[in-house]
Copies of this chain bind each other. A is one copy, B any other.
Amino acid sequence: MSDDDSAVARERVIESMEQSAEVYGLSRSAGRIYGVLYFASGTLSIPELVEETGYAKSTVSNVTRTLSRIGLIHRRSSTGGGRRVQFEAEREVWFILQDVFQQYIQREVQTTLRTIRRAEEQVPADAREQEPIQNLRETYEDLEEIVQLASEYSAAELREALETYEQ
């Protein structure tokens, strides 16, 4: 087993992360930068990330800011040692997914639910349109609860909950 093989394998996983990034509405560069940080033994600075990824300094600067804001990476402002800003990947993928649930999906579900409820109040009870909206509301109420609970469990707990549920 050569270092080459190992490097190729790592590259494949990073490419997979690039793809996943797109699914989450991020750019491919964000996926790569996260991936490089994920496999880095310690923390990396912006010049090091430029070296590793081949992206321009400005790109790395912008992307790291975005990733930090979302919580995919952490800014280790080790102002003690040097001026360099150090970045570290959040390696607990489940934490990231929980954040996505809380920040995006839950928000999306809640705002939609608000709109639906408001619409339901405005539409008279005898209107034809009432029925589909009512149906929509009920599904979203279930969704709200599901997302809420799912974001509180760990991956293993969630799996357990679904596996042990019967009828």
Contacts and interface: CB of A to CB of B under 8 A. Distances in A.
B163 A143 contact: no
Given A128-B41, A155-B146, A13 B122 contact: no
Interface size range on A against B: 35 or more
Given A13-B115, A143-B155, 8 more contacts: A13-B116, A13-B133, A15-B115, A41-B128, A91-B135, A91-B136, A146-B159, A161-B162
Contact of A112 (B20, B25, B115, B118): B20
**Number of copies of this chain that the complex holds:** 2
A58 interface: no
A39 B132 contact: yes
13 contacts: A1-B122, A1-B124, A6-B124, A6-B129, A10-B123, A10-B129, A13-B119, A16-B115, A19-B112, A20-B108, A142-B158, A142-B159, A149-B159
